[in-house]
Structure 1
Amino acid sequence: MDPRISFVTLAVADLERTRRFYVDGLGWSPEVDVPGEVLMIRAGERLVLSLWDRGHFEAEVGARAATDGVPPLTLAHNVATPDQVDAVLAEARTAGAREVADGRAREWGGYTGYFADPDGFRWEVAHNPGPIGLSVLPEG
């Protein structure tokens, strides 16, 4: 098996609310949009973010674990500068993001902040000046 991820799927409680956040608020363009079922957005050259209605998700995959607090994963959006971290966090706040944690310098040399989407999934917005961080930035 090749070491790659093709889809990241998040089970969401209210697909229309999620659409308003990602499409209307953040300005992302869906490639697949099946009302009441799934919204798929290209998130990279070979990566799709799939936002799946929770009921449809559970019917195919199985019941999700019940947890309180933050879902046990983060998604990351890397940018080239700390100023871009702050700009993306401001854009997320304008789009209606909950629980925005402002950007700050980290002990490992980067600068990051977080926002939560309508279902509480945390997005890290990061400037990682190390080789691995720079390797994920788009060219240009």
Structure 2
Amino acid sequence: MDQDVHIITVAVDDLDAARRFYVSGLGWRPLFEEPGEIQFYQSAPGQVLGLFDAEALDVDIGDGGVHSRPGGFTLAQNLHDADLVHRTVDRMERAGATILKQPQPAAVPGMMHAYVRDPVGIVWEIAHNPGWRIDDDGAVVFDAPDAG
């Protein structure tokens, strides 16, 4: 199996609330929508975030189980500077997110981060980590933190 993840699908109870938050609040553009079932948003080169109606996802999986409760994960966005962390968290809060952790320095030297929960329960880490970058080919590179 290739080491690729093209779609991250999250079950949500309220697709309308998700759309209001991501489209109206944050300005994201849906890549594809099937009303009442699923919304896809481009989240990175070659990757989409799918927000799937929880009941429809259980039906789609089709084994009679309940697989529609997210938990134990976060989505994260690493930004170019610490000030942008504050601005992004503010925008997310205005769009309806709940701040779980205000922007603040993290344990990693030079890193600033915050946690917010969107209106459908997805927890986001919004961060600036100067030791993280993305090369032109899309590869993530972790640089050693500065010693001084």
TM-score using structure 1 length: 0.87
Structure 2 CA distance, aligned partners of 1:122 and 1:63?
21
Counterpart in the other structure of 1:129: 130
1:77-96 → structure 2 map (5 Å cutoff): 77-96=77-96
List structure 1 runs of 4+ shifted beyond 6 angstroms. none
CA apart distance, 1:108: 1.3
Gaps of 5+ in 1: none
TM-score using structure 2 length: 0.83
In structure 2, do the counterparts of structure 1 residues 108 and 95 end up closer, same or farther at CA, with 3 Å as the change threshold? same
Structure 2 CA distance, aligned partners of 1:5 and 1:40?
14
The structure whose Rg is larger is 2
Counterpart in the other structure of 1:16: 16
Which secondary structure state, in structure 1, belongs to the residue aligned with residue 83 of structure 2? helix
Number of residues of Structure 1 aligned to a counterpart in Structure 2: 133
Identity rate of aligned residues, in percent? 34
1:37-95 CA distances to partner (integer Å, 9 max, x unpaired)? 111011111010000000111112341276xxx82100001101110111100110111
Structure 1 CA distance, aligned partners of 2:47 and 2:56?
21
Q: How large is the RMSD of aligned CA atoms in angstroms?
A: 1.9
